[in-house]
Amino acid sequence: MTFPSKTTTPYRAISDRESSSIHCHGTLGWTILLACLVLLSSCTDTSDRIVVGSKNFTEQVILGELLAQYIETQLQVPVERKLNLVGTFLCHEAVKSGEIDLYVEYTGTAFTGILKRTPVQEVRLAFQTVQEEYVRQFDLVWTEPLGFENTFALMIRGNDARSMNLTTISEAAQQTPKWRAGFGYEFLERADGFKGLAELYGLSFLEAPREMDLGLMYRALSEGQVDLIAGNSTEGLVEHLDLVILEDDREYFPPYQAAPVVNRKSLERHQGLREVLARLGNTISDEEMRNLNYAVDGQHRDLKEVVGSFLATKGLSAP
C-alpha cells in the first residue's frame, strides 16, 4: 500500500510554496490526511529497496527522478519512485515514517513550514538549524545542498526592465503605483510573503494584487495582464518569456537551498547511501535547474531522458 501519488504528465501543478503543508485548507483536510498517513505507513516494507519521493510540481519530479537514477547507478540497488506526492506535509510524514527513504526539501520551507520558525536571511544559520532540528525532532538527516536555491522572486517584463533601467526591487518600487501585480495564494498569506515585503520596500499598486495560479502567472505577466509577479527563481520559462528577476537588494526573502532529506534508519540500512548523496553536493546551479525545468515544462522532453543527459554531463551516470 502506498501514499497517493500521480505519475502522469503534465508535471506542473503548483510550486512548493503553493503546495506545501503551510496552506492546507481546513481542519478536515488535515485530519483526513493524517489518518491516511498513519494507516498507509504501517503497511509498507522498504527494506529491500530505496524509495525516492517528490512533491507535485515539475522541479520536484525532476529532482526525484535525478535521485532515483543516480542512486540506481551508484549503488546498484532497486529504486522505487513515489513522485508527485501532494506536497511538503505529505513528503515530510512519509520520510519520517519510512514510507519513503528520501526526497528533496528546501531550507526556507522546512524552517518556516515544518519547524514554525520566524524566517531568517542568513544561509548558514538556516541550514544549520534545519539540519540540527530535523535530527533531534524527526530522526531525519539533511545531506549536502545540491547547489541551487528556489526562492521567491519578483519578476517584470524584460522590456520594462530595460526601458526603465530596473534591476532591483527598490528601483521597481518607484514604478509600482502605476502597475498591477499578480501573486499566488501562498505569497499573499505566509510570513515571508507579500505583507512584509510591501512594508520593507514601500510597495503599493494601482489596485489590490490579484490572486493567481502560479502556473499561469508567467504568461499573464508576459502578455501584459499584470506588470509584476512573485514567482520561483528557478522557473524555466523566465528566459523563454523574456522576464527579468529583480534583485532582492534589502535581502527580504529567506534562503531556500535544496537538499536531500533522508530517514536516518535508511542510511543505516543502505550502506554507502550517505557517501553517494554527499557527492551530489553543489552539482546543480540555479541556471542549470532553470534549464532542466524548461526542458520538461517548456520543451516537453521526456523526463528520464532529460535527467539521464544531465547526469551524464556531470559525470554522475556511472558508479
Domain boundaries defined on the chain: 16-149+256-313, 152-245
**What separation in angstroms does the CA of 306 have from each of 145, 170, 277?**
21, 37, 20
Rounded distance, CA 292 to CA 188, Å? 28
Q: Does domain 16-149+256-313 have CATH number 3.40.190.10?
A: yes
Amino acid identity of residue 70, one-letter, is Y
Rounded distance, CA 108 to CA 113, Å? 8
Task: Write down the mean pLDDT value for the chain.
Answer: 87
Which pLDDT value is given to residue 190? 72
Which pLDDT value is given to residue 2? 43
Task: Read off the pLDDT of residues 27-74 as tens digits, 9 standing for 90 and up.
Answer: 445 444 554 554 454 445 556 899 999 998 889 999 999 999 999 999
Rounded distance, CA 54 to CA 251, Å? 29
Task: Read off the pLDDT of residues 289-310 as tens digits, 9 standing for 90 and up.
Answer: 999 999 998 899 999 999 999 9
Four-way CATH pick for 152-245: 3.40.190.120, 3.10.350.10, 3.30.200.20, 3.90.470.10: 3.40.190.120
Q: Would you place residue 121 in the very low, low, confident or very high pLDDT band (cuts 50, 70, 90)?
A: confident
Q: Is the dihedral of CA 234, 180, 17, 133 positive or negative?
A: positive
Question: Does this chain's domain 16-149+256-313 share its CATH topology with 152-245?
Answer: yes
Q: Is the dihedral of CA 17, 255, 228, 219 positive or negative?
A: negative
Helix, strand, coil share (%) of the chain residues, nearest 5: 45, 15, 40
Which pLDDT value is given to residue 36? 54
Q: What is the DSSP letter of 118?
A: P
